[in-house]
Amino acid sequence: MAVEIENAYKTIARHITSPRGQCVLILGPELAINKDGIGYKTYFRDIMPNNSKYFDLENLFYFNNSTDRYSIVNKVLEYYESVGDPVLIEMISRIPFPLIINVNPDKAINRTYNCKGINFSGGYFTKDSKTIFNSIPLPSKETPVIYNIFGSIEADQSLILNHKKLYETIQYLLPKKSLPDNIELFLNETASSFIFLGFKFDSWQYQLLCHKLIVNSSNNDLKTNISSTNIIENENVSIIMNDSFAMKFTAENPIQCIHNIIKCCEQIDLESLRTRNENSAYSTFISYARKDDSNLERENIVNLIEDKFKNNVCNQNNLFQLFRDRNDLKYGDSIDSFMTHIGIGKSVIRVISHKYLTSIYCMIEAYRIHNYSDEDKRIFTIIMSDADIHSTDSISKYKKYWFDKCQIILKDQTKLSNGNYDDYVSIYRFIDTFLAELADQIYLDLDYSDIYIKDTTILPQEFIIKDSKKQKFEEFIQEVCTTMKKQ
């Protein structure tokens, strides 16, 4: 961990444990994952009628007609009713933040506070909401406030779904004293540090949000501001955020960030934190190349993992969740999904096949995993027989594959202008390191013929593993479960 980030964590912990409580937590759009592990961009793209449009950079819609609008609004509400990473939210609920600001319209953190008996006040922003919520008390550790700053699922009219509504909201949000008086007072007179979780800041509205929360308050130069995760693809955005808001970016994901802050708080005052729920949820995410016509058996491996995982003795109380992505990912989605599925209480199983090694989506995800510090050994790898990692020419073969991909893009100006060329080059440079890493990691070797369907005429299908691999496979699953429970 960089010294600058370590010092920022210590400063934030000091602000959290101070009698007044001086730290604000801001929850960003990239934290929106529903109960099936589906991110908001993937979900919203899939629900769009033919003539309407979803703009994933801004997370906004264009409605072709009123029928489309009503249909999409209902599905958006349904989605945000089910979002919330239970592991991350449980960790957040242990920290006595006086003020939590959520840019998403969901109520996941509110529900957790209610379940744990934590008294709090809630509210949301619209152009007319100040009069409704101006009685909100001054945020404090004893009376925390949770505020949905870009609307709430409680009120359909507050939702920001199209550009016109966004422009209107920003117009009314930016002036001084637009928020409830006590929130404005806390931001101006008390808040000394800000934690941003799940932001990329490549959307202008989130940069303006920083201007509202940080710059329009006193002693701006003395504030400590940190953002997780550092997955900004545009270097210019990083420069702007650092210059304008003194934003420090950590490569750690939200769970790692919060975990480190908890540890720093414990070193100052163990009693300053709320108690941990011993029945917290745990989760595993399966990263794999989805089936295609070249190999329909690839899905059977993941089906077997899912069956064994759900029926494992360690899951008697249904505390463990298994996420698998059945959807085709758009470029860049896999990075975001991984960064929300690793850390305390979580693990990742990746199934490495030839398809995985030749997929830009999978390899970008692998590149992101490579940059994650896996000191707790939470990443588990299964090597399929068609993944050529053991032969003497495996590195040269896959390196040539990615070199040829780069050359194809270079020869086509339309592809070069799409902006993905740099990522292909990164994979070309990374593939030899990745293959060498796989040879050193704890993994399970499997052949596609090791898994079969017991009876194809009976539903639901039962997946069986050959006796020769059964013991090693069950030990593998047990190790995943054990690792998830490590704190």
**pTM of the model as a whole:** 0.76
Last residue of a domain, which of 213, 245, 272?
272
Residue 335: predicted pLDDT: 44
Classify residue 277 as exposed, middle or buried by CB count within 10 Å of its CB (0-12, 13-18, 19+).
middle
**Per-residue model confidence (pLDDT) at position 334:** 45
Count of domains forming the chain: 2
pLDDT in tens, the chain (487 residues): 689 999 999 999 999 999 999 999 999 998 998 877 788 888 999 898 888 999 988 899 999 999 999 999 999 999 999 998 888 899 999 999 999 999 999 999 999 999 999 999 999 999 989 999 999 999 999 999 999 999 999 999 999 999 999 999 999 999 999 999 999 999 999 999 999 999 988 889 999 999 999 875 555 556 788 888 655 556 778 888 888 898 998 878 888 899 999 999 999 998 899 987 766 667 788 888 876 555 667 788 888 888 877 776 555 556 677 777 654 445 445 445 555 556 666 788 889 999 999 998 888 878 877 776 666 678 889 999 899 888 888 889 999 999 999 998 888 776 666 657 888 898 999 998 999 888 766 689 999 889 888 777 676 778 888 999 999 998 888 888 888 777 6
Geometric angle at alpha carbon 42, from 25 and 196, rounded to 5° = 15
112 cis-preceded (ω within 30 degrees of 0): no
Let me know whether 242 and 107 are in one domain.
yes
Whether residues 220 and 320 share a domain: the answer is no
- In this structure, are 205 and 309 located in the same domain? no
Residue after which a domain boundary falls, among 272, 304, 338: 272
Instruction: Say yes or no: 192 and 316 in one domain.
Output: no
The whole-angstrom separation of Cα 160 and Cα 59 is 9
Encoding tokens for residue 458? 């009976």
State which of 272, 300, 331 marks the end of a domain.
Answer: 272
Q: Assess whether 145 and 244 both reside in one domain.
A: yes
Residues 236 and 98 in one domain: yes
Q: Residue 237 is part of which domain span?
A: 3-32+84-272
Q: What was the pLDDT predicted at 331?
A: 46
Judge whether 399 lies within some domain: yes
**CA atoms within a 13 Å half-sphere pointing along the CA-CB vector of 213:** 28
User: Residue 62: inside a domain, yes or no?
Assistant: no
**β-bridge partners, 33:** 39
CATH number for the domain that contains residue 19: 3.40.50.1220
Specify the CATH number for the domain of residue 347.
Answer: 3.40.50.10140
Residue 487's pLDDT is what? 61
